[in-house]
Amino acid sequence: MGKIIAVANQKGGVGKTTTAINLAASLAALEFKTLLVDADPQANATSGLGFDPASISSNIYECMVGEANIEDIILKSPNLETLDLIPSHIDLVGAEVEMINIPNREERMREALAPLKEVYDFIIIDCSPSLGLITVNSLTAADSVVIPVQCEYFALEGLGKLLNTIKIITTRLNTELAIEGILLTMYDVRLRLSNQVVEEVKTHFQQMVFDTIIPRNVKLSESPGYGIPAILYDAESKGAMSYLNLAREIAEKNSVALAK
């Protein structure tokens, strides 16, 4: 039975998509059968894996409202045998409004992804920078959530609101939802600020924080432009290696035997 992990934080630009792409690719490189679900209308995870969102007509929304069969919209990563993608496109924006009146509107993604839990070891959901209905669906579908926190000013801003939303979802919609971990991203060893944020977040959240810290690394920001994850763009880079370490940490935490 596969594990569904949502990568969420309603703050934009904190490294959600970078984490979703590179965590999924690293798990796939460790030979886990992995599915990346792009649940953001901006479709950055879709283009980051080399697909053109403009030429894509299906997304998770069509499956959530029963207009498409989930197996039919899965794309194969051209570069990694064990990595698949459910793409997104801009129409996902309208989905939130259209879904208001349908029954079980918060549970549609869970229902859509349910058959795929048998197929994949890990399903990683890249959430949008909002706490709207699609994100609520993502958190309701997920077994756990990874929360990227940027090593910057106001790092903890909005985190209370996110944790509160997670709490509400755990009481009302998904009692099984766990926090997989808080992930410090864009860490710069030379900056006192970065070190202060690490200290602050670790003091507040202690063992909830992943041991792995993601450094600021240019390969991580360049690789989506080439439509490939960092591990294929420059496997030796600090960025690629840190996401591989995160994948190992998550696999170990979940006692999933490492294939490699």
**Residue 101 structure tokens:** 């009146």
Nearest-CA neighbor of 49 among 223, 185, 217? 223
| Shortest distance (Å) from residue 44 CB to Mg ion | 5
Question: Is residue 53 close enough to count as binding ligand ADP by CB under 6 A?
Answer: no
* Number of residues this chain uses to bind Mg ion (CB under 5 A): 3
| Shortest distance (Å) from residue 130 CB to ligand ADP | 11
Nearest-CA neighbor of 96 among 175, 41, 53? 41
The only residue of 116, 125, 186, 231 in contact with ligand ADP, by rule CB under 6 A: 186
Give strand pairing partners of 35.
84, 123
CB-wise, 58 or 217, nearer to ligand ADP? 217
| Shortest distance (Å) from residue 9 CB to Mg ion | 9
CB-wise, 43 or 251, nearer to Mg ion? 43
Considering only the stretches 49-57, 65-73, 162-170, 215-223, report the one whose residues sit in contact with ligand ADP under the rule CB under 6 A. 215-223
**Tokens 């309701």 map to which residue?**
140
> Is-contact 18 47, C-beta < 8 A?
no
Query: Distance between CA 162 and CA 93 in Å, rounded?
Result: 20
**Tokens 């970078």 map to which residue?**
18
Query: Distance between CA 196 and CA 203 in Å, rounded?
Result: 10
Considering only the stretches 10-18, 30-38, 86-94, 147-155, report the one whose residues sit in contact with Mg ion under the rule CB under 5 A. 10-18
| Shortest distance (Å) from residue 256 CB to ligand ADP | 25
Query: Distance between CA 153 and CA 163 in Å, rounded?
Result: 19
The only residue of 5, 7, 11, 16 in contact with Mg ion, by rule CB under 5 A: 16
CB-wise, 70 or 148, nearer to ligand ADP? 148
Contact residues: Mg ion, CB under 5 A: 16-17, 44
